[in-house]
Structure 1
Amino acid sequence: MSTQQYDRGPAMRDVAAAAGVSAQTVSRVLNEHPNVQDSTRRRVQAVIDELGYRRNNTARALVTGRSKTIGVLTLATNNYSRSSLALGVELGAREAGYTVNSVTSSLSTQSVIDAVSRLVFQGVDGIIIAAPLQEAVEQVAKITARIPTVNTDGSSGMGDRMVGVDQDLAAVMATKHLLDLGHKTVWHLAGPLEWSDASSRLNSWRRTLQEAGCEVPPELHGDWSPESGYHNGLILGRMPEVTAIFVASDEMAFGVIRALTELGRRIPEDVSVVGIDDIDLAAYSNPPLTTVRQSFEDTGRRAVQRLVAQITNPEISTPPDLVAPSLMVRASTAPPPAP
């Protein structure tokens, strides 16, 4: 087999000629059609690799009606959870034979609607929404009514389109862990209320305290950043009655720990701190952070799998795919100090 130079780039017919098969056979190999002998498949694939053939997705879309492209909507942020989930989507799409077309938006309703509309206009086969939709659920549902869509942020109104981690259970696990250690109540540093995850955790924290007959202290709010955790930690650290804090993200928890330490509050001897996420740094903070683990990368992969299933069979209907998180107990939590 000899390598030829193609000014236009090798076409399917060039692959067919070099492999001694028809263009239809090459097409079957590219589309993983079962009715191709293994020896023929290997020969065609070897020629594809040698010639550097790349399929024309535009032409393929005209023939099949599919672009083999997944659209992904994320927020314009450097938050760890967003980047980790995006990695999971990218890996899952690659495994499924799809490419990813990503767009970002702000939290405004119009920005979200515009971003989703752009993806639909670009002709993607399906959309993964990895952004909160608190105010835009109905509008987005209308725009995506005719295209397979998966939501990873637990927004209401998405029905069987939802893939993610059970945020209600995550908050219950964190709060109960601190109560089981003997703390009389648990303070909460919540995320932005525009985020459905933050709202769900806040409501579950409050309900868990009420069911346990504990006083429900006023919640504080951050923006997911360590800086917002630090500023809220300075407030909580000056309140001697605070012995247990449930923080809605690990990154904010790092800021809380820094503030408490600066104020002379020992962790966990004076104050116990629990986060959510279990990012890589959690096990190496000082002290190592007790947190509720949720795998963003796994969520991204599962979102792709759910989306591809919808693309393949538009009539499919399955319940929301919510997995249980796990509590990672480390050195940042302990029983409350003696009176």
Structure 2
Amino acid sequence: MSRSSRAPSITDVARLAGVSVPTVSRVITGSVPVSPERTDRVMAAVRELGYRPNGAARALVTGRQSVIAVLASNTTRYGYATTLQGIEEAARLAGFIVMITVIETDEPAAVQAAVDLALSHPVAGVVVLKFDPPGAAALHRLPDALPVVAASGGRGDGVPHAVLDDTAGAMAATEYLLGLGHRTVHYVAVPTSGRRAGRATGWKRALTRAGVEAPPVLDAGWDPERAYEIGRELAGRDDVTAVLCGNDELAMGLMRGLHEAGRKVPADISVVGFDGHPMGRFWTPALTTVEQDFADLGRRSFALLGGLLGTGHTAKTSSTAARLVVRESSGPPPVR
């Protein structure tokens, strides 16, 4: 065989090792024990030929698809990227390959194109990062017969969910700021995956329980630049002493805007972020935040999918609580 003419196949490995094709498959997949002597011969042939197992071919031999598709609208933001890391780590340990498809927008054509691209491959199941409108839209376009799990801050849609309890985390942060003596807490929002936004719900619920009317939500999208502009706007208001931000990137942009407008954090305005971005503790002042374990969210997402695929325990939801991490960016309100 000329290596330049074509890629080596499993048949080539079997011929060089002097074993059957099923034996090569058993060695590669670990599905059935093979004698040490035959395993050594197969692995020596794999190395000599430079053979790389093909997922589709492996599926034909084992009867099980080996690819997991992940649908996400973004792969660069901290929460998204770390969730993907957790999914990939868990999938790799279970012998699966992860294929990521990015959903550009929540426009129907874009969502359908992403779903079609993902399902054009022989996938065993799908994990959807339902953090925003594109993810929520994709979830509704997947076939009912396909094993599907959602990773998000909420439940619903008739599929198993790995959940981060955004509502409880936002309540804890808001109650903490009110407990410091702030009369109210303003909220700078990220986009939501549906009508019920867990972070906004928790913020508003804590204010309502304290008998405080919630001020208007300040929408920043995912853009720290917009949060920076909001910070400059809020700097001119005497009624603003505490702000909860929908994520840490927005909190960093907001604090920069306050700083450039001449307001001090936390002496004039306290700021609390969300998610536990690793750069938050290196900010000046160090950022108080609601810390969430996104890598664990990814691992739990794959564990739920494994249950649907028959490789793990079946469950409908998996939820963990967030943790408030108090640092330098929050404190009592200024004395007027």
Give the TM-score normalised by the residue count of structure 1.
0.87
Question: Is structure 2 residue 158 aligned with structure 1 residue 172?
Answer: no
Check the 8 A contact 2:72/2:135 in 1, yes or no: no
Report if aligned partners of 2:154, 2:164 keep a CA contact under 8 Å in 1. Answer: no
Aligned length: 334
- Percent pairwise identity: 37
Counterpart Cα distance in 2 of 1:57 and 1:244? 53
**Residue pair 1:274, 1:290 contacting (<8 A) in 2 also:** yes
Show the 5 A alignment for 1:188-267. 188-192=187-191, 194-196=192-194, 199-267=197-265
When structure 1 is superposed on structure 2, of 132-141 and 291-300 the one drifting more is 132-141
Equivalent residue number for residue 151 of structure 2: 152
Distance in 1 of aligned mates of 2:140 and 2:72: 17
Residue 191 of structure 1 contacts residue 198 of structure 1 at CA under 8 Å; is this kept in 2? Answer: no
In the other structure, the counterpart of 1:279 is 277
* CA–CA distance in structure 2, aligned partners of residues 111 and 17 of structure 1: 46
Q: 1:33 aligns with which of 31, 39, 52?
A: 31
Unaligned 5+ runs, structure 2: none
Note if 1:61 corresponds to 2:59. yes
Q: Is the 8 A contact 2:86 2:297 kept in 1?
A: yes
1:72 is paired with a residue of what secondary structure?
strand
- Alpha-carbon displacement from aligned partner over 1:53-80 (angstroms, at most 9, x marks no partner): 2223333333444331111111157433
Note closer, same or farther for the CA distance 1:293–1:109 as it changes in structure 2 (3 Å cut): farther
Q: Could you tell me which residue of structure 1 aligns to residue 309 of structure 2?
A: 311
**Structure 1 63/200 Cα, relative in aligned 2: closer, same or farther at 3 Å?**
same
Q: Distance in 1 between matches of 2:89 and 2:311?
A: 22
Deviation at 1:38, TM superposition (A): 4.5
**More divergent stretch after superposition (252-261 vs 87-96):** 87-96
Task: Report the CA distance shift for 1:108/1:153 in structure 2 as closer, same or farther (over 3 A).
Answer: farther
Q: How large is the RMSD of aligned CA atoms in angstroms?
A: 2.8
Q: Distance in 2 between the 1:109 and 1:206 partners?
A: 31
Matches within 5 A, 1:35-114: 35-38=33-36, 40-76=38-74, 78-105=76-103, 106-114=105-113
Partner secondary structure for residue 175 of structure 1: helix
Compute the displacement of 1:153 (Å). 2.3
Paired amino acid for 2:43: Q
Q: Is the 8 A contact 2:25 2:61 kept in 1?
A: no
SS at match of 1:143: coil
CA contact (8 A) 2:164 2:321 kept: yes
| 1:318 to 1:329, Cα distance in 2 relative to 1, 3 A | same
What letter corresponds to residue 176 of structure 1 in structure 2?
A: E
Aligned counterparts of 1:109 and 1:173: Cα–Cα separation in 2: 36
| Residues 135 and 68 of structure 1: CA distance in aligned 2, closer, same or farther (over 3 Å) | closer
Contact 2:68–2:98 (8 Å) recurs in 1: yes
Which ranges of structure 1 fall in alignment gaps of 5 or more residues? none
* Aligned residue in 2 for 1:299: 297
In 2, the alpha carbon distance for the partners of 1:227 and 1:334 equals: 25
Report if aligned partners of 1:9, 1:53 keep a CA contact under 8 Å in 2. Answer: yes
Preserved contact between residue 13 and residue 23 of structure 1 (Cα < 8 Å)? yes
**Whole-angstrom distance in 1 between the partners of 2:101 and 2:220:** 25
Q: Secondary structure at the match of 2:51?
A: coil
Question: What CA deviation, in whole Å up to 9, does each residue of 1:18-38 have, x standing for no partner?
Answer: 444433322211221243234
Change beyond 3 A, Cα 1:121–1:104: same
Please state how far the C-alpha of 1:266 moved relative to its aligned partner. Answer: 1.1
Which whole-Å CA distance do the structure 1 matches of 2:133 and 2:259 have between them? 36
